[in-house]
Structure 1
């Protein structure tokens, strides 16, 4: 197995990416990694920090990198020379089985769709992210790939997420829910109501609608939504967590008694923080493209990079792309969903 890693992607690239990749290879000799990026910068980091160069690691030079907040028109002009494009080319030409980047999310999605294309019958890729819940974790799809979606897209998101959960996470017959403004079947806009009727008629474990407040409770293993709603949900959550941590820190520092109390329950807070830490989950999956693509958080740590690599390995081992294609084809052949009812 070989994984292409964008060495230039992320707020602390290339150092953190290099350390994450090298750290993973120290304990895993059944996989090799290609660091794609500015070769001189990468080698300089190895020398500067005295990092040993593993035998199952190689470097592929790329003259350009996409900045984290670079706009579409800017990176699109130079895309052919970027580390993102070079890494995706390796996947396209079967020289790597997966690609990982903690870089500009929009750039990775746009270039990946152009380079790899989509799986047969998949109209639009979706970003899928594992999120922590009171009962473990759930998969939220879509978290930002599509601002506008049709019922057909949401149905495909559900099927792709189902295959991932069954194959990689090991959840048999996962509970699938649709995000809406109420639990009742009649709640929601036309997109949600139409999608609800389609999912309800399918031979999947569809548990109905869930509201935004239910995402982190664990009422479903897979929550399906359009990319606009999913992304807003994610960003609101990040904001609330940041505010709560700031308020908590302020209260702890407000008195000696508060500090003493925190000291007594410090280990409990550490466990909670670990559960909420995105680095535990590696990154978001770009489901639906004809290749394995994992997009990490811009602030990814070494641990997050290692987690992303491990996730990609599990994805490869379970042959998830082929399983997704077969599931989509199976539903298509049933003939129950003509284009008009499919959206």
Structure 2
């Protein structure tokens, strides 16, 4: 069967100016994959013509008459834009026409629409946003990154299960290690929710190593870091801000005078390798895990390279059959901790 990905061609800050070139670059690397560009046909065809390409067997256009704006509320997008490129692309996954959807559109609207159309995997209360972040040992999967501000201990447990299944399937890491983000590694630290979640994770059958701190994300101490969406989003945005500041400082220092410019020229190979390793575009693509379909969210302001990497993330999840893999394990894991959950958190 040909692997097919639906692309919300209108989503993001730029729309077809990024999604179409990225799709073409992706197909050049993956001749066994089919992409469906969903959106306003005239705009998509115009961009293809500008790039000297045309629709074909590997690249087709599926019409949609509306676009979800970056400032549209999730409720408005869900209720009033039923023929948006985002909604139509998600419907293609629901109908089995595509195995995944990638969008750089409004995050809240994408989460709300995907959850309404695709539904969650049995045993999962809420989907979460999971992202692979660079670390000293490769990558670390962190979730949730903003979908769920307040989380119960059981939901944090579910995030741990989903994150572990994602890493196991996509990164090919059997029995990945899982840590719970906290203000210290000691068991006595943290809120009641975090302490109860830690107990549930210890009895889950996952390879739970205990509490971890923010610096463990980039140390690569664990494969999966579990947290609520509020904390996770703050940690992510802080990291992005720090990376931008470091890059700015380096540029300022290397361009300060003629001597520093000469030093920069000598160090250029090292700087280029460093830039590539920390380039956020190469880690673009956050997974909306817990749904009955693969949904990948690209950063709205990314360029063609970043969106292509989000497409890579989607096809990796399709090939790993992440949804089925997660569905099979969720029931087993949750059943295993039922008795322990009753004893540890009797009021939940």
TM exceeds 0.5? yes
Q: Match of 2:194? A: 192
1:313 paired residue number: 315
Partner of 2:339: 336
Matches within 5 A, 1:104-143: 104-143=106-145
What is the rounded CA distance, in whole Å, between the counterparts of 2:13 and 2:269 in structure 1?
A: 29
Q: Say if 1:49 and 1:31 are closer, same or farther in 2 by CA, change over 3 A.
A: closer
**64-73 or 141-150, which moves further after superposition?**
64-73
Secondary structure in structure 1 of the residue aligned to 2:150: coil
* Structure 1 segments unaligned to the other structure (5+ residues): none
CA distances 1:248-278 after superposition (whole Å, capped 9, x unpaired): 2222221112111122222222222212223
Tell me, in whole angstroms, the C-alpha distance in 2 between the residues paired with 1:278 and 1:242: 10
Distance across 1 between alignment mates of 2:130 and 2:319: 19
Provide Cα deviations, 1:57-107, integer angstroms capped at 9, x if missing partner: 111111111122333354344320211100000111111111100111111
1:25 equivalent in alignment to 2:27: yes
Give distance in 1, aligned partners of 2:318 and 2:55. Answer: 25
Alignment of 1:143-182 (within 5 A): 143-182=145-184
Asked if the contact 2:144–2:159 (Cα under 8 Å) also holds between the matched residues in 1, the reply is yes
Shift of 1:49: 3.1
Deviation at 1:26, TM superposition (A): 2.1
For structure 2, the residue ranges without an aligned partner over 5 or more in a row are none
User: Aligned pair count?
Assistant: 343
TM-score by length of 1: 0.95
Q: For the residues of structure 2 that align with 1:138 and 1:14, how far apart are their CA atoms? A: 31
User: What pairs up with 1:1-343 in 2 under 5 angstroms?
Assistant: 1-334=3-336, 335-338=338-341, 340-341=345-346, 343=348
Deviation at 1:197, TM superposition (A): 1.2
Give the Cα separation in 1 of the matches to 2:329 and 2:137.
27
SS in 2 for 1:143: coil
What SS does the aligned partner of 1:336 have? helix
Contact 1:22-1:54 within 8 A present in 2 as well? no
SS in 1 for 2:219: coil
Alpha-carbon distance between aligned partners in 1 of 2:236 and 2:347, rounded to the nearest angstrom: 27
Q: CA deviation at 1:53?
A: 3.4
- Asked whether the equivalents of residues 87 and 99 of structure 1 are also in contact (C-alpha less than 8 Å), the reply is yes
Q: Do 1:25 and 1:54's aligned partners in 2 also have CA atoms closer than 8 Å?
A: no
Q: Point out the more displaced range, 63-72 or 279-288.
A: 63-72
Cα distance in 1 for partners of 2:215, 2:319 equals: 35
Q: Which has the higher mean CA deviation after the structures are superposed, 204-213 or 125-134?
A: 204-213
Contact 2:161 2:333 in 1 (8 A): no
